[in-house]
Every structure is written in C-alpha cells, then in structure tokens.
Amino acid sequence: MQLLTPYRLGPYELKHRCVMAPMTRSRADGDRAVVPMTAIYYAQRADPVRGAALLISEATQVSEQGIGYPATPGIHTPRHVAAWRTVTDAVHAKGGLIYAQLWHCGRVSHSSWQGGAAPVSSSAVAMKGQAWSANGLVDAETPRALELSEIPGVVAQYRHGARCAKEAGFDGVELHAANGYLVDQFLRDSVNRRTDAYGGSPANRIRFLRDIVEALIAVWGTSRVGVRLSPTNAFNDMRDSDPASVFVPAAEMLNDYPLSFLHVLEGRPGSQLAPPAGVTPIAALMRKAYRGAFIINGGYDRESGEQAIAGGAADLVAYGVPFLANPDLTERFRTEAALNAPDPATFYGGTEKGYTDYPFLATR
C-alpha cells in the first residue's frame, strides 16, 4: 500500500503516511493545562510504525482572548508549557513526532470567557446557533470587529503561542485556520464584511492568514509550520459565496513559504464535514495549486486513504476518530485487522474512559 510507504516531511522522515488529525477532547484542568492522562493518550498513538507518523495536537488557545470552550488547553502561560512538556517528552520517548495546533476561536467564543467583553472577529456578524459559555450552551453573541490597529496584537498572540510551543518541546506547529474560527472568519465572506486592507477582495481576506504564517515562521522557520484550511464545510455557521476564489489563491500564496504542509479538511460524501448540498468540493483545485506536502482529512478509511495517495490527491491522510478509537490504527491497516468502535459519548470531557482505555491489538 502506498499509504504505508515512507515520506519525507521537511526535516522529518515519516515511516508511513497516516497522520493523527487534531481532535478536541476537553480534558484540561481549571488553568487550561493538560493533565497526566493526556500524556498517556498521545504516547499511546505515538509509535511511528504502528501508530501515527505525525500527531497533531488538539486545538490549543494562544491567548485568553482565544478561548471558546470549556476544558480546552492553552499554550500561552509557563504552566501550559510545563504541562505540554510532559506530553512531548512522552511522545518522543516512543520515537514519535507531535505538532501543536494553534487556535483562536474568534466569534465562536462568549463574553463569559472574555471578562464580560464581546468576543472578537473580522466583522460584527453573529454566528447562528449556540455557543459554549462558562455556564453551558447559550445563544451566540454578536462579536466585535477587530480594529485595524488591533490586528498586529492578535498576530502577536499567535507568535507567542508558537514560542511557547517551541519551549514545550513540540516538533512544529499547525495554524488552525479552519472550521469557522478566527482565521476562517477573515477568509470567508459570510463573516468578513470589512472594507479595509483585510476585507473585500480575496487577496485582502487572505492577508490575515499571511501575517500569521509569517509570524510563525519567524519562530519556527518554514519547514516546521503547517496550515489547516476547511474551504467548504459549514461548521460554526460558515460559508463563502465562491470558495475557490479565495481558497485556491490562499493555497498559491502559501507557496511563497516552503511550509511543512497544507492540511485541507474537506469531508468525503456522507461524512459530517462534507460540503453542503450545492457546494462544489475544491480540495483537488487546492492540491493542484499548492506545490508542497498536502494532507487530506475528512471521513477517510483504509481504502479511501489508499486511493487518495495512489491517485495523487494527497501526500498524507489525516485520520481523526479512527485514531481516537485505535491507538495502533496503522498496524490495523497493515494487517487488515478490525477496528475498535468509537464511543461518541466520551469524545468531549470526562475521564480515562473513552480516552486512554481503547485496546491495542492482542499481539501488542
């Protein structure tokens, strides 16, 4: 299988092409530091042959302003750094690689996380539906549009998070520019109504993404920075009138930097994050536009992942729930063994149940 063949990713030699996708698990403590069982969870999946060739961490806030959910971890205080160091040490002890996914929720946040202030976004456009507050689900609030003068400060939050991730021992970082969070709120025209240098034309809407990529590169260099985009999914009430007009140029812009990878989440038909009816998938166009390593994600299994690699649709495939439920997923692919059934009731929050207790193959 080509899915199981080696791949060189920047400075790293991967044993195969199965990546563990970032997955929120909501098990951080009251200070938003990861806990001891988190190190066990990632280490279980870190075997570079039987597990993930590369682990991408759960979304991790770069600042207090970036918070949007209960019990999600941060990467912006000394305590966060120390806690994440236990994770990276555990992963490296298994011979694995792990990138930190850097995150700012933007309008998906709530004033209860912001000291009573409104969450920020590209524009003052509320998300339809509910948001997580400190007291549970409530109707989403109208965010405050970031002032032009504030944007460099937000970029600096990402730079600080990148520095903290480096101090914590990560092997690289992935910019979370997908799924309706802050960077995506600048990219897509259903939210971005700005009339300044960060709004209007696709080139302007891409500017915030470029600014942050350059900030991350200033910390990590190009070959250890990745970007995740989701051009067509509707999660967090997102849409664009012409996704190809902004996301293909975004992929082309990223060619200016020899990044670690571009990671595109575009769900396969029938998967949870597939493009809505009437929206044309564009991952193939982005693949054609981007010259570097290309990761595809969104409902893939062993067979469809192999087809994506063999057919040239991607260089690597990111698996989310399959890795959540199968610490030795790649070994199961290799031996065509049955997969553990995931338990959705334990995906978010809780204890070791549904987190570190999924069984390995009997031969493990």
Instruction: Assign 273 a pLDDT band (cuts: 50, 70, 90).
Output: confident
pLDDT in tens, 285-320: 999 999 999 999 999 999 999 999 999 999 999 999
Cα–Cα distance measured from residue 360 to residue 99, given in angstroms and rounded to the nearest whole number = 24
354 is a domain residue = no
pLDDT in tens, 331-352: 999 999 999 999 999 999 999 9
Residue type, 284: A
Cα–Cα distance measured from residue 307 to residue 165, given in angstroms and rounded to the nearest whole number = 34
Check residue 36 and give its pLDDT. Answer: 98
| Phi, psi (rounded to 5 degrees) for 225 | -120, 125
pLDDT in tens, 123-154: 999 999 999 999 999 999 999 999 999 999 99
Mean per-residue pLDDT for 176-192? 98
Question: How many whole angstroms from its chain centre is CA 139?
Answer: 25
| Phi, psi (rounded to 5 degrees) for 9 | -115, 95
Check residue 94 and give its pLDDT. Answer: 98
Instruction: Specify burial of residue 345 (Cβ count, 10 A radius: 0-12, 13-18, 19+).
Output: exposed
Query: Does 363 have pLDDT greater than 70?
Result: no
- Percentage, residues of the chain above pLDDT 70: 99
Element (H, E) at 78: helix 78-93
352 is a domain residue = no
Q: CATH number for the domain including 198?
A: 3.20.20.70
Mean per-residue pLDDT for 38-45? 98
Q: Which residue has the tokens 């439920």?
A: 325
Check residue 266 and give its pLDDT. Answer: 97
Cα–Cα distance measured from residue 178 to residue 59, given in angstroms and rounded to the nearest whole number = 11
Q: How far apart are the first and last CA of the chain?
A: 22
Query: Does 284 have pLDDT greater than 80?
Result: yes
364 is a domain residue = no
Instruction: Assign 8 a pLDDT band (cuts: 50, 70, 90).
Output: very high
Are the C-beta atoms of 62 and 158 separated by less than 8 Å? yes
Check residue 364 and give its pLDDT. Answer: 44
pLDDT in tens, 215-262: 999 999 999 999 999 999 999 999 999 999 999 999 999 999 999 999
Cα–Cα distance measured from residue 51 to residue 312, given in angstroms and rounded to the nearest whole number = 23
Instruction: Assign 182 a pLDDT band (cuts: 50, 70, 90).
Output: very high
Q: Rounded mean pLDDT of the chain?
A: 97
Mean per-residue pLDDT for 176-193? 98
User: How many independent structural domains does the chain possess?
Assistant: 1
Provide the annotated active-site residues: 181
Closest CA to 174 of 128, 132, 226: 226
Check residue 272 and give its pLDDT. Answer: 83
166 is a domain residue = yes
353 is a domain residue = no
pLDDT in tens, 56-97: 999 999 999 999 999 999 999 999 999 999 999 999 999 999
- Structural domain of residue 67, as residue ranges? 2-346
Mean per-residue pLDDT for 185-201? 98
Check residue 271 and give its pLDDT. Answer: 87
Query: Does 117 have pLDDT greater than 90?
Result: yes
